[in-house]
Structure 1
Amino acid sequence: MPRLAASHPPFFNDTAVEVPVLDKFAGFTETAEVGWGSPNVGWRVAPALNIIVNGIRRLATIDTGSTGALMDKSFLPSFNPEEAEEGHVFYSSSKILEEGHWVPDVEIEYFGPKGVRIMSRTPVLAVERAVRCPQYNQTLHGHRCPRNATLGVVKRAVQQPYFGIGFGRDRDTSSQATPDRNPMINIVSINNVTIDRTKYHPGYIITDRSIIVGLTSNNTQGFVTMDLEKGPNWEKDKRAWAGPKVSVALNNETYVMGFQGSLLVDTGVTQMYLKAGRQFQPGDEVKFAIPDEKSPIATYTITNGNRRNVMSPYKVLNSTSLTPYVNTGRNFLTKFDVFFNPVEGQYGLRFKGSGQENFVKFYPAV
């Protein structure tokens, strides 16, 4: 069932408020808000954070559609490939395979325009080669694209570090996308002070202006949450939750019973990836109910090829797969803030529209 938190903007060093006994965030007060390091103009570009690694300042793209921090191996000159775990990150949308080795326990500092600093400690993939590999299969190929399947080398990792902070990606071609590699749920200090585990609740909130780490009763107000299912690696790591759910209906059709699939709100892309049982043609209308039509947190509608609302993606790429799947693209964030609670397994939405929009509805009532 959806659950409602109160409505209040987030601040750094939240003070405790009176909350129900069952409030999962009662007593947690340590939090920090770090502003995006690049202008966020209507979510037309992916967000980025200013980082410091090995004493050098850089800008890192923040992607909720993948898990794992990566950067070119030249940014991590002290590691020995022979002593590090071989690894990869595969991006299913672009078919780019980043090949390298996981450097353990890398400390990354993130800083915002107001002087707030946070630090994460996770393995980082030192990228040795990035290639387009459309036929990549981890079971068959391991961590490297076969030479005869490579469609060319790409230079993205050299240009800018790429930090995946998503969840529910640890399956199929991304089995290394595990919670221990997610920078934003592995924060170790705020403003150079080690976090107090009794006062710091892991998790993050994404807004137009910033990312907020450390969930509190104050900064989660206004969100309605849904419970997540256990992911394939949950027994190994109790933070390994599956992605949230969504129901899909095309045109004037009703939501099909059981036609519920995985939802991914992806800051890494402008387009939508849709699997809804048949081709989604230009002019078609598609409705989404999150997580389902019986007890939705939110519903919204888009029309393919018609930017009649700001939540419509740049374009829709779809297939006739009978396994429903929706990657919304980042335009979803024009109307919703999102949060992820890795401890109890919750995903939350907070509406930030005017309430006059006819293409989106938010359901804050229990």
Structure 2
Amino acid sequence: SVFLPFVSPLKINEPPLLPATISNTPLIFPIDTGSTGILLGHPKLPFLNTTGYPPAHSYLSSSNLLYAGSLVPLTLTFIASTTATSTVPVLIVDAKTHCPWYNPLTDAGTCPPNPSNHSDTGTALPTAGISYMGVGFGRNTGDGEQPKAIPAANPFLNLDSVDDIPVDSGAWHTGYILNTTGVTLGLTPNNTEDFAWAMLEPGTTHAEDPRDWAMPSMCVRVNDEAEDCGAALIDTGIAQMYLRRAVGRVTPNHTLSKPMRRRVDDGVKIAVDFLSSEGVGEKKEVVVGYEFVVGEGSKMEPVFVVPETQKEGKARVPFVNTGRGFLLGYEVAFDAIGGRFGFK
């Protein structure tokens, strides 16, 4: 296994940062478990000719940002006490657009005119500062937001070499462990022995790539009401929590005036249990859980909670994005070979 330390220990208000080089160019990447694949502004590698490479895009709904450019295979070098290399397709971004009305299922990588103001085609933003490393799993959910979010795009799952020695795929157990200080690439009996494991369901492209697994299962309770069960995401990319309950369930909330945003009220109790996919219904095993009261400032509490109200006829499965605060209480591990997610 290889340990790669973050630039500084994880804090609630900023994503963890990891140094790497591409073509001898030093780069700093925010590490995001809420997406899969690398985004890099073309000005970061101005010498790179992307002519002839396939067009690609990624839409991050939490920020309403659309990234478009070309998908180019590149080798990253992680330099710590050990050196590791990984070759993955990188989205070299030539256009970044703020486009809140973008529909990932129909708009195919281009920001359409604003339905309420046809002269508005989104806000073009500079690409020079873009560097983003998505290392999450289960993010290619068929909603069109991240069509290239497959295991082959995850640099943590595609190591070529460690200290200039080629990685033996038969001996190397693909996966990673994340904590507040850094990431460990490669799982061993020693580094995983104290984890509690949730089994995962196969992901969208599991038949083509057996390393593709769905997000972990969870049940969430609000103020001791009946629980809502669905999928969970532990997302190092954001400080807040997103909470989507079943149709008809309302979490007490208020609206901020500038900007117009909804927030869950202080005093609301939220409890999340992570489940193993083994068993059905009541037989599902709770692996670990945590709870907090909004506004009390406990260690794992997100900076705020955003409620999502479900509409009849457009219902989606309940969902909790914990934000990065969860990592202030637990280490997590993703076993890409065994289809397991671990907590410690």
Bucket of the pairwise TM-score, normalised by the shorter protein: 0.7 to 0.9
* Structure 1 residue 41, shift from structure 2 partner: 4.8
Q: Which residue pairs with 1:139 in the alignment?
A: 105
* Structure 1 residue 342, shift from structure 2 partner: 1.2
Counterpart amino acid of 2:36? T
| Secondary structure of the corresponding residue to residue 141 of structure 1 | coil
Q: Which residue pairs with 1:311 in the alignment?
A: 300
Q: Partners in 1 of 2:187 and 2:240 — Cα distance?
A: 30
> Do 2:9 and 2:182's aligned partners in 1 also have CA atoms closer than 8 Å?
no
1:144-195 Cα offsets, whole Å, 9 max, x none, are 222556431233x522410000011112122211111111111111122211
Q: 1:102 aligns with which of 71, 82, 85?
A: 71
Counterpart amino acid of 1:299? G
Q: Which residue pairs with 2:190 in the alignment?
A: 218
Identical residues among aligned pairs (%): 32
> Do 1:87 and 1:101's aligned partners in 2 also have CA atoms closer than 8 Å?
yes
- Alignment of structure 1 residues 1-366 onto 2, 5 Å: 31-37=1-7, 39-77=8-46, 79-104=48-73, 106-112=74-80, 115-146=81-112, 148=114, 150-155=121-126, 157-170=127-140, 171-172=142-143, 173-255=145-227, 259-276=228-245, 277-281=249-253, 282=265, 283-291=267-275, 295-307=285-297, 309-321=298-310, 323-350=317-344
- CA RMSD after TM alignment: 1.8
1:62-111 Cα offsets, whole Å, 9 max, x none, are 1000001010113344544441111111111111111111002x100112
> Do 2:58 and 2:147's aligned partners in 1 also have CA atoms closer than 8 Å?
no
Q: TM-score, normalised by structure 2?
A: 0.86
Q: Partners in 1 of 2:10 and 2:205 — Cα distance?
A: 36
Q: Partners in 1 of 2:113 and 2:49 — Cα distance?
A: 24
Q: Partners in 2 of 1:302 and 1:57 — Cα distance?
A: 40
* Structure 1 residue 248, shift from structure 2 partner: 0.9
| Secondary structure of the corresponding residue to residue 336 of structure 1 | coil
> Do 2:238 and 2:323's aligned partners in 1 also have CA atoms closer than 8 Å?
yes
> Taking structure 1 as reference, are residues 249 and 201 closer, same or farther at Cα in structure 2, changes over 3 Å only?
same
| Secondary structure of the corresponding residue to residue 137 of structure 1 | coil
Flag the structure with higher strand content. 2
Q: Partners in 1 of 2:105 and 2:166 — Cα distance?
A: 40
> Taking structure 1 as reference, are residues 88 and 290 closer, same or farther at Cα in structure 2, changes over 3 Å only?
same
Unaligned stretches of 5+ residues in structure 1? 1-30, 351-366
* Structure 1 residue 44, shift from structure 2 partner: 3.0
| Secondary structure of the corresponding residue to residue 248 of structure 1 | strand
| Secondary structure of the corresponding residue to residue 184 of structure 1 | helix
Q: Which residue pairs with 2:117 in the alignment?
A: none
> Do 1:284 and 1:304's aligned partners in 2 also have CA atoms closer than 8 Å?
yes
Q: Partners in 1 of 2:106 and 2:93 — Cα distance?
A: 21
Counterpart amino acid of 1:140? T
Aligned residues: 311
> Do 2:59 and 2:104's aligned partners in 1 also have CA atoms closer than 8 Å?
no
Larger mean CA deviation between 178-187 and 132-141 belongs to 132-141
> Do 1:59 and 1:160's aligned partners in 2 also have CA atoms closer than 8 Å?
no
| Secondary structure of the corresponding residue to residue 43 of structure 2 | helix
> Do 1:274 and 1:316's aligned partners in 2 also have CA atoms closer than 8 Å?
yes
> Do 1:63 and 1:164's aligned partners in 2 also have CA atoms closer than 8 Å?
yes
Q: Which residue pairs with 2:256 in the alignment?
A: none
Q: Which residue pairs with 1:4 in the alignment?
A: none
Q: Partners in 1 of 2:11 and 2:101 — Cα distance?
A: 34
1:192-231 Cα offsets, whole Å, 9 max, x none, are 2211222211111101111100111011111011111112
